[in-house]
Amino acid sequence: MIPYGKQSIDESDIAAVVEVLRSDFLTCGPKVDEFEEGFARMCGAKYAVSCANGTAALHLAMLAAKIGAGDRVVTTPITFLASANCAVYVGAKVDFADVDPVSSCLCPESLAERWRDGTKAVVAVDFAGQPADMQAISTVARERGALVIEDACHAVGGKFRYQGVEHTVGGHEWADMTVFSFHPVKTLTTGEGGMVVTNNSELAERLRLLRCHGMVKDQQDFVSFGQSGTAIAEEQVGQLYEMQEPGFNYRLSDIHAALGISQLKRLSSFVTRRQEIVNQYNDAFSSLEGVEIPRLGSWLENEGSDCHRLSWHLYVLRFDWAGLGISRPELIKRLRAAGVGTQVHYLPVYLQPWYATYFPSNGLDNADAVSKAALSLPLYPSMTDADVDKVISILIDELVATGSV
Ligand SMILES: *Cc1c(COP(=O)(O)O)cnc(C)c1O
């Protein structure tokens, strides 16, 4: 069975983790700092704050932005649940805007049209690894006083050109915070893990505070003990801690961070291999009737299609099921029987029963259409050329066998 996604672990990753297991620190040790520093450098961001997983990273971003009850957060419906759920965790209301029909990323025009009073943040997703139109999205959001959070869980290590200038995902000015996940199915893994990067020192400080119980240990950071006239005896310094607001235990351990450091060294090769596989698929499927290969949104396409170095997380084909005369469940079943795993990315979040109770699907036509057409093929760096050829020929064979092409 060729799964749709899979981690890539080698002996250097294993050795890195074993080294931590033999060391003094399993958590709160030096590997966490080293991973954060390396990750910030890779993105070209000032600060990187690691945490337990991508969902925790989104939750921390909401908390750091001081979003709460009475506020609204708008996101794309074509994403994993966590991009919306993070707003629910802090008591905010979630809204959805439509997606760009070409890229499946959040559409800036729809964002502006559907804007509602009280919206404090936009969560834009780099769908499949393609950066959303962050320049346009940030213009809409910032003109209306909202913060921009880029959910780059699909796009770690990606670079793109915009108006002739190269930018790195996590390093550009159009997001206030950028969020990553290191789940095994993602491009870089720590087992479970997440990261928020930002250039804003205040946000970085709040993210660190909130991931560890809202607790400060450094006397200089105390707001009460020091100022209220309570003299802190010299020998107590380093023993005292102070909680300024309730936070969480969302820390990443040194075991995870060590795997992250090792994977970060291999990230560039992962991105390259994923790109190669995407190119092989594109060559094979571009002339197939009723099937549409992934395309770049105009903000990327206008720069030239070969000038970006995108970090493809997913390979999402679009199928004209009616024209092909086969249903998606039928094709999924046939591919699985032939040894090829697939996934649907995504069912629009507003169709999930919990969201459907208060957000009826109303006029998000692009999201409905791209969701219905989508099916993701296997994509991971350890796929061999033979694996890729196998997926290609099995898919074409199944479409031929059912009389679809
Ligand atoms: C994976 C993912 C998340 C959540 O990350 P976890 O580490 O699994 O919590 C959030 N948003 C998107 C778009 C994702 O793909």
231 Cα–ligand 1 center, Å: 46
Q: Is 219 helix (H, G, I), strand (E, B) or coil?
A: helix
What's the pLDDT at 359? 73
Residue pair 303/164 in contact by the 8 Å Cβ criterion:
yes
Ligand 1 probe mutation, 4, 50, 55, 76, most atoms within 8 A of CB: 55
Distance (Å) from CA 55 to ligand 1 centroid: 6
345 CB within 6 A, ligand 1: no
- With beta carbons less than 8 A apart as the criterion, state whether 309 and 271 touch: yes
* 26 has a pLDDT exceeding 90: yes
User: Which protein residue's CA is at the shortest distance from atom 6 of ligand 1?
Assistant: 54
pLDDT of amino acid 219: 63
Q: Quote the pLDDT of residue 306.
A: 86
The answer to whether the CB of 104 is under 6 A from ligand 1 is no
Confidence of residue 97 (pLDDT cuts 50, 70, 90): very high
Measure 56 CA to ligand 1 centroid, in angstroms: 9
In this prediction the pTM is 0.95
Q: Candidates 53, 79, 80, 311: which one to mutate for ligand 1, based on the most atoms within 8 Å of Cβ? A: 80
Ligand 1 lined by 181 (C-beta under 6 Å) = yes
Q: Is 163 left (phi over 0), alpha (psi -120 to 50) or beta?
A: left
Is the CB of 5 inside a 6 Å radius of any atom of ligand 1?
no
Mean pLDDT of 89-102: 97
pLDDT at 41 over 60: yes
Distance CA 261, CA 18 (A): 13
pLDDT tens string 234-267: 556 556 788 889 999 999 999 999 999 999 999 9
CA distance 86 to 76: 13
DSSP-derived letter for residue 386 is H
**Which atom belonging to ligand 1 lies closest to the Cα atom of 56?**
9
Instruction: Tell me the average pLDDT across 336-355.
Output: 96
On the question of pLDDT at 332 being above 80, the answer is yes
Supply the residues annotated as catalytic.
186
Span 101-114, average pLDDT: 98
Distance between CA atoms of 176 and 65, rounded to whole angstroms? Answer: 9
- Specify the pLDDT at position 358: 78
- Alpha carbons 134 and 124: distance in angstroms, whole number: 8
Q: pLDDT exceeding 90 applies to what percent of the chain?
A: 88
Strand 374-377 with 72-75, pairing: unpaired
Residue nearest to ligand 1 atom 5, measured at CA: 54
Average pLDDT, the chain: 94
Per-residue pLDDT, 234: 56
DSSP letter at 180 equals E
First to last CA, the chain: 25
* pLDDT tens-place string over residues 260-292: 999 999 999 999 999 999 999 999 999 999 999
Residue 243: the pLDDT is 87
Atom of ligand 1 nearest to the CA of 79: 13
Q: Is 13 in the pocket of ligand 1 (CB under 6 A)?
A: no
Pick the range with the lowest mean pLDDT from 52-61, 120-129, 227-236, 250-259: 227-236
Give the atom of ligand 1 at the shortest distance from the alpha carbon of 313.
15
Residue 229's pLDDT is 45
Query: What's residue 237's pLDDT?
Result: 59
Give 206-239 pLDDT, tens digit per residue.
999 999 999 887 766 666 554 544 555 555 655 6
Q: E-assigned strands of 114-198?
A: 119-125, 147-151, 159-162, 165-168, 177-181, 194-198
pLDDT at residue 140, as a whole number: 98
What pLDDT was estimated at residue 220? 64
Mean of pLDDT values over 154-179: 97
pLDDT value at residue 402: 82
Say if ligand 1 is within 6 A of residue 311 CB: no
Mean pLDDT of 9-37: 97
CA angle in degrees (0–180, nearest 5) for 58-60-63: 115
- 8 Å CB contact between 396 and 340: no
Residue 183 Cβ contacting ligand 1 at under 6 Å = yes
53 CA distance to ligand 1 centroid (A)? 8
Q: Torsion over CA of 340, 374, 111 and 187, rounded to 10 degrees?
A: 10
Distance in angstroms (rounded) separating the CA atoms of residues 64 and 346: 28
Ligand 1 close to Cβ of residue 154 (< 6 A)? yes
Mean pLDDT of 39-43: 98
Question: What is the distance between the alpha carbons of residues 144 and 133, in angstroms, rounded to a whole number?
Answer: 17
Q: Is the CB of 75 under 6 A from ligand 1?
A: no
Instruction: Compute, in angstroms, the gap from residue 179 CA to the centroid of ligand 1.
Output: 9
Max Cα distance, the chain (Å): 83
pLDDT band at 179; cut points 50, 70, 90: very high
Mean pLDDT for the stretch of residues 336-356? 96
pLDDT of res. 14: 98
